[in-house]
Amino acid sequence: MLTKFRFLTAGESHGKYLTAIIEGIPSGFEIDPDFINDELKRRQGGYGRGERMNIETDTVEITSGVRFGKTLGSPVTLVIQNKDYENWQKIMSIYSKDFTDEKSFTKCRPGHADYAGSIKYGAKDLRDILERSSARKTAIEVAVGAVAKQILKQFDITCSSRILQIGNAKEDFCTEIDKAKELGDTLGGKFEVIYENLPVGLGSHVHWDRMLDGKIAQAVMSVPAVKSVSIGNHHAYKMYGSEYHDQMYLKDGKIVRSTNNAGGLEGGMTNGEPLVVSAVMKPIPTLRKSLKTVDLLNMTECEAHFERSDTCAVEACSIVAEARIACVLADELLLKFGGDSLDEIKKR
Ligand code: EPS
């Protein structure tokens, strides 16, 4: 869907590397690996994360497209090493299997990709599905998003996010997470991402697949475990039009608004107000407390597979959503202003 800021990612959760190639970045953009690493650290953090985060210290290596701190206009390649691969080398070997079938996992986890993925791809071992469906891949997505954020930074576009709710808690999130952990359970929640200082007119009203609200919804909805996305005031369904719509006034010759219920988007285009996107993350489907399922090996009822998991990853999810939106916005900026170098774009 992205046409100017295009990227592909690859990598399994316990494979050797997570990789991304970004194509379409004009020359002259400053890229700071320390900023990317700070973003990776933010994704690893948050209260309620699991043991895997104690193993990894996600760090990016840039292997193409940047010289002396600036983009060359050529594809930018990012690589993150999975430290945990060392413990999984045999299980994740690319060579023919040299251990018994007993190691296969066949008790699918309700709520994960295991069941549908096994049927779709004919996987006898659900690990063939788990390894790519794992939210581990969001590490490299955050690295790509950190590159996109550095493009946005050149135009003073800034980003922030906050947690709105975890389970039933609107304030004391840690206690709520501790409670779930004690029960061997998991928790989802709700978060909000805000982008400020966007120019008017990113996106377009002229065709359904050019509308920015649709592009953002797709980008955030496909973050693992996200079940709903909304833009602006999500109580729109119960408000009068006269309450909901952001009325326009003049102040010192400039158009101003007293509300931002539209969340910065009207007619599929940015309107100059802050872009406000909120999303709901479901509880992680890998949990210590048993969930009833079926063993696909012998079609008997059993308890779902459990290795280890996070209790709550809503904060990490919000960082991933920030990254996904950054990619969409960087793409829109490059689409609108074009150019092969930063200087050329700035002139436009
Ligand atoms: C994740 C790494 C994974 C999980 C988590 C996200 O590591 P592992 O599978 O080795 O424990 O902690 O993924 C899930 C909970 C999931 O259901 O996909 C990460 O790096 O964010």
Return the ligand 1 atom nearest residue 307 CA.
11
Domain count, the chain: 1
Domain containing 236 equals: 6-347
Pocket test for ligand 1, best of 9, 114, 136 (most atoms within 8 A of CB): 136
pLDDT at 341 over 80: yes
Q: Which pLDDT score, from 0 to 100, does residue 306 have?
A: 86
Cα separation of 184 and 304, whole Å?
Answer: 13
Over the stretch 204-232, which tens digit does the pLDDT of each residue have?
A: 999 999 999 999 999 999 999 999 999 99
pLDDT above 70 covers a percentage of the chain that reads 98
Evaluate whether residue 131 is within a structural domain.
yes
Task: State if pTM tops 0.95.
Answer: yes
> Other CB atoms closer than 10 Å to residue 182's CB: what's the count?
9
With respect to residue 306, please indicate whether it lies within any of the assigned structural domains.
yes
Q: Taking CB atoms and a 6 Å cutoff, what residues make up the pocket around ligand 1?
A: 13, 50, 52, 84, 134-136, 138-139, 284, 286, 308-310, 316
Q: Are 141 and 134 in contact (CB under 8 A)?
A: no
Average pLDDT over residues 234-261: 97
Distance of alpha carbon 263 from alpha carbon 254, whole angstroms = 19
Instruction: List the CATH number of the domain containing 13.
Output: 3.60.150.10
Number of other residues whose CB lies within 10 A of the CB of residue 62: 15
In this structure, of 89-103, 141-155, 288-302, 330-344, the range with the lowest mean pLDDT score is 89-103
Does 303 have pLDDT greater than 70? yes
Nearest CA to ligand 1 atom 19: 136
Residue 1 lies in a domain: no
For the CA of 286, the closest atom of ligand 1 is: 17
Residue 142 lies inside a defined structural domain of this protein? yes
Per-residue model confidence as pLDDT tens digits over 123-173:
999 999 999 999 999 999 999 999 999 999 999 999 999 999 999 999 999
State the Cα–Cα distance between residues 275 and 280, nearest whole angstrom: 17
- The answer to whether residue 303 is domain-embedded is yes
Whether the Cβ atoms of residue 84 and residue 96 lie closer than 8 Å to each other: no
Residue 250 in tokens = 């003049």
The answer to whether residue 151 sits within a structural domain is: yes
93 CA → ligand 1 middle, Å: 20
Burial class of residue 247 (count of CB atoms within 10 Å of its CB; 0-12, 13-18, 19+): exposed
Is there a domain that residue 241 lies in? yes
H/E stretch holding 227 reads: strand 226-231
Q: What is the pLDDT of residues 79-125, one digit of tens each?
A: 999 999 999 999 999 998 766 545 789 999 999 999 999 999 999 99
Span from the CA of 136 to the centroid of ligand 1 (angstroms):
5
